[in-house]
Structure 1
Amino acid sequence: MMEIMIRLEDVTYSYNRQPLIRGMDLNFEKGKITTIVGPNGCGKSTVLKLSSRLLHPDKGKVFLENKEIGGMKRK
């Protein structure tokens, strides 16, 4: 059975009113190495920043072990 460590659910993110990510669903499995590949400017760093709470989604939720990270303290 797959155990999810980080989950992005219906995440949308815009920068300067320009949509960069729309409705993204993504799972990072616990104990697995996940790579994100793509050309420059496609949103790889943005996805990682959203996953780590350095950025906040316009819409959708990010979970860490089934707890929404939006309400968690940074520590």
Structure 2
Amino acid sequence: MKLSLHAYAATTRAYIQRSKRSVAELVAELGVSNPALARRSTVADRPHTPRTLRTSLTAIEERMFCELRLSSAIG
């Protein structure tokens, strides 16, 4: 049975999770790559932010930021 599901659809994610078929069969049926299939086979959403920050503060900038945060009652 050939299904015509969009590879990024939420219904596809549910279909992949419920399926008893092999990864190779699902890849061929849905027309997605193995990594794409692996991303859709998990239930939990992953964060969209980088794991490491690409900016770093100098000691003076960090001190200024902390003072600003404390003086404005944010933190």
Larger strand percent: 1
Query: Per chain length, whose mean CA-contact separation is higher, i.e. which structure has more relative contact order (CA < 8 Å, sep 6+)?
Result: 1
Q: TM-score, normalised by structure 2?
A: 0.23
Larger helix percent: 2
Q: TM-score, normalised by structure 1?
A: 0.23
**Bigger radius of gyration, 1 or 2?**
2
